[in-house]
Structure 1
Amino acid sequence: MTPYPRHALRLEQLEARGRLRALAPGRGLDFSSNDYLGLRDSIELAQSVSEALARGVPVGSGGSRLLRGNDAEFERLEAEAAAFFGAKACLYMGGGFQANQALLSCLPMNGDLVLHDALVHASMHEGMRLGSAEQRSFRHNDARDAAAQIRRWRERGGKGRVWLALETLYSMDGDFAPLADFVAIARKHDATLILDEAHATGLYGANGRGLAPSDCDVPMIVIHTCGKALGASGALICADSVVIRTLINRARPFIYATAPSPLMAAAVRCALRLLQTQPQWRNHAAALRQRAHQAAESIGLRHSGSQILPLIVGDDPAAIRLAQRLQAAGLDLRAVRPPTVPRGTARLRISLTGRLQPRDIDTLFSTLATLAPELTP
């Protein structure tokens, strides 16, 4: 008999609804991770870590960065990343969730408004929950709705700063934000843009710098996560120096967290160098996208032009069954279910990762056409 009967009941209820989650190792062709360039197990990143160990970079940090955990490797990375992304300053943190939580719990103040896309990541919601500013959502990728919400807020007496939070590329639908429209809104309403580049960094923009506009004339904070296309872990917050200093002094997820391994900073430094000197990684990813888009169109599967293609199933148990059948065929896809996606839109999230080859794309779509013809008209 478990001492936690109510928790056991909740697990049973999740299982009955097809939403019970469990950890499973990766097997077969990788169509589910975020390793978009294939850097995660690259020789180059492994050598960078080995070389860092050889020159005395420690495995662990030993504490928070405000105590003794501020290794010189972090500061090298931040200087190089600021130069690479064209930012005034940069702060390296343990992960994208921690970075978004820190930003949105710390920077927006009482009397401000955080206006966010309806589909932003859970990490942003967690930061807003912990913060003191008012929060509202606008319809996904709907700049007109965002502008209307700001006007209504001002008309009702809102006087603080507006923080406009969105992702440049959304992880579950694979669609891009209309950034020019949101820059115009930020300019008109004197708002700060918070742009999460998690799924764009490394793939898009000059040398993989992402989709955030360069030489932008509005205040902008950009988050580049390091555990996806960059193949390592952590996150880089690029912003004005006042923002970075404020986070160092006031952001609890930064102040009270043990710093990440300095070896990860060395790996990220290597990944940024590869983006600048070895375009073949991005070129291969672009070729995979082109092939997958053509294959998707041939079977009637919608896509938005990115490396993420959602295959909407709808029913939670049906999504699990289809994922299991594809895994049995050697294709590692996973079912994504509510609350990660809206109710009734359970799906397989097809992710084009860097170690795939063109023949693997063909295998996936021919198998899909056989196993799920009703989903690919």
Structure 2
Amino acid sequence: MNAYPRHASRLAQLEARGRLRELIPGIGLDFASNDYLGLRDSAELAQSITDALARGIPVGSGGSRLLRGNDAEFERLETEAAAFFGADACLYMGGGFQANQAILTCLPMSGDLVLHDALVHASMHEGMRLGAADLRSFRHNDAQDAAAQIQSWRERGGKGRVWLALETLYSMDGDFAPLADFVAIARDHDATLILDEAHATGLYGADGRGLAPMGCDVPMIVIHTCGKALGASGALICADSVIIRTLINRARPFIYATAPSPLMAAAVRHSLHMLQTQPQWGNHAAALRQHAHRAAERCGLHHHGSQIIPLIVGEDHAAIRLAQGLQAAGLDLRAVRPPTVPKGTARLRISLTGGLQPRDIDTLFGTLSTLAPELTP
């Protein structure tokens, strides 16, 4: 007997529409993950965990950071990360979703405005939904629309602070935000920029510091996730020390969450060290991007110059079938469907991960031209 008929009915509806999600293990060449540098499987990062254990770093934290879970390894990481990213202070949390929730539920106050790009991550939407501030969105990467939204809000009586939330590199289309334009808006309107660097950290900027402008004269909160190019897990919030202290004292996702494993803090410390001392990781990623972009252009596929190349299929079931065909050929890509992307834009998200070689990219595009010639003219 099914004790949950309404839930079962909803699952059946999702399956009929081609939107039922399932957990599938990684198989074949990795074109699906966010391991952009290949650090996740690196022997050196694994050795950093072994060394940390030998130094007495515990596996678990034992509790929240305010209740004895504050291992010294967290504080070492925060000090080193603040210096590396040029920030006043830093806070390490369990993940990017948790970090965005903490920022947007805690910092914007009643009477403030959170103005966000229409395509920001679900974690930002969850934080905004639970927060107290007014909410508005602007058209994707449209700085003029963002400025107009602020002006409209002010004209309607808005008096508080504006918090301008965007990603520096968007995960589904692989396009970059025009950061100089948004910095100018923040300066003109005395706004705070909230920049999610999830898909830029480790790949762009000096030594992989990301795309956020260092030494900027506008208030800025920058989130660097550690589970993508850095090969570990967690997230680093870099900001003014008043912001960090406020999060420690008022952010429920920080206060009431068991702290992450101190071993992950040790791994992230080592990842940051590798970015500064081993340029070959970033050089390999850059070479893969160049090779993939040339291959995509030969196939008639559009890209924005990043490590993420969207292959828009359109219909949900068609995206699933194409992903399954590629997986059967030893190429691990996944179908991304609404509501993650807009209706009618179901796609394969080609992700250039660090373990790939140029020949693997040639294999992918050759297979695509066979399986989906209508998508690769």
Q: TM-score, normalised by structure 1?
A: 1.00
Q: Distance in 1 between matches of 2:214 and 2:51?
A: 33
Q: C-alpha distance in 1, partners of 2:201/2:75?
A: 20
**Deviations 1:206-238, CA, capped at 9 Å, x for gaps:** 000000001100000000000000000000000
Letter in 2 for 1:275: L
How far residue 2 of structure 1 moved from its aligned partner, in angstroms, is 1.1
Secondary structure in 1 aligned to 2:374?
A: helix
Aligned counterpart, 1:262: 262
Residues 324-345 of structure 1 show CA distances to partners (whole Å, capped at 9, x for unaligned) of: 0000000000000000000000
The CA deviation string for residues 82-105 of structure 1, in whole angstroms up to 9 with x for no partner, is: 000000000000000000000000
Is 2:127 aligned against 1:127? yes
**In the alignment, does 2:360 pair up with 1:360?**
yes
Matched to 1:47, the amino acid is Q
Structure-1 separation of matches of 2:14 and 2:136: 29
Aligned runs of 1:48-197 on 2, under 5 Å?
A: 48-197=48-197
Distance 2:316 2:220 in 1: 38
Q: In structure 2, how many angstroms separate the alpha carbons of the residues matched to 1:101 and 1:124?
A: 6
What secondary structure does 2:82 align onto? Answer: helix
Amino acid at match of 1:139: R
1:274 counterpart residue number: 274
* Amino acid across the alignment from 1:61: S
Structure 2's unaligned 5+ residue stretches are none
Q: 1:370: Cα distance to partner?
A: 1.1
In structure 2, the residue matched to 1:340 is: 340
CA distance in 1, matches of 2:248, 2:311: 41
Residue equivalent to 2:287: 287
Deviations 1:37-62 (A, max 9, x none): 00001111101000000010000000
Shift of 1:145: 0.2
Give every structure 1 segment of 4 or more consecutive aligned residues whose post-TM-superposition deviation is greater than 3 Å: none
Q: C-alpha deviations, 1:290-329, integer Å up to 9, x for none? A: 0000000001000000000000000000000000000000
Q: Matched residue pairs, number?
A: 377
Superposition deviation, residue 272 in structure 1: 0.1
AA partner of residue 243 (structure 2): V
Q: Secondary structure at the match of 1:374?
A: coil
Please give the alpha-carbon distance, in whole angstroms, between the structure 2 residues aligned to 1:63 and 1:138.
39
Measured after TM superposition, the shift of residue 352 of structure 1 is 0.1
Secondary structure of the residue aligned to 2:309 is strand
| Counterpart for residue 373 of structure 2 | 373
Structure 2 CA distance for aligned equivalents of residues 51 and 214 of structure 1? 32
Question: What is the distance in 1 between the residues matched to 2:301 and 2:373?
Answer: 11
Structure 1 counterpart of 2:213: 213
Q: Which runs of 5+ in 1 are unaligned?
A: none
Residue 278 of structure 1: how far off its partner (Å): 0.1
Write the distance in 1 (CA, Å) between the matches of 2:296 and 2:359. 14
**Partner AA of 2:253 in structure 1:** P
Q: Separation in 1 of the partners of 2:115 and 2:277?
A: 38
Secondary structure of the residue aligned to 1:184 is: helix
* Residue number in structure 2 paired with 1:227: 227
- Which amino acid in the other structure matches residue 185 of structure 2? I
User: Given residue 236 of structure 1, which amino acid in structure 2 is its aligned partner?
Assistant: L
Letter in 2 for 1:297: E
Matched residue, 1:202: 202
- The one-letter amino acid paired with 2:301 is L
Q: Distance in 2 between matches of 1:297 and 1:3?
A: 52
Q: Secondary structure at the match of 1:13?
A: helix
Residue 4 of structure 2 corresponds to 4
Q: Distance in 1 between matches of 2:297 and 2:370?
A: 16
Residue identity matched to 2:145: D
**1:145 match: secondary structure:** helix
Hey, what does 2:41 align to over in structure 1? Answer: 41
Instruction: Tell me the SS of whatever aligns to 1:373.
Output: coil
Tell me, what secondary structure is at the counterpart of 1:341?
coil
TM-score between the two structures when normalised by the length of structure 2 = 1.00
> Does residue 1:15 correspond to 2:22, yes or no?
no
The one-letter code sitting in structure 2 at the alignment partner of 1:113 is: L
Deviation at 1:201, TM superposition (A): 0.1
Partner of 2:311: 311
Letter paired with 2:60: G
The separation in 1 between residues aligned to 2:252 and 2:286, in whole angstroms, is 39
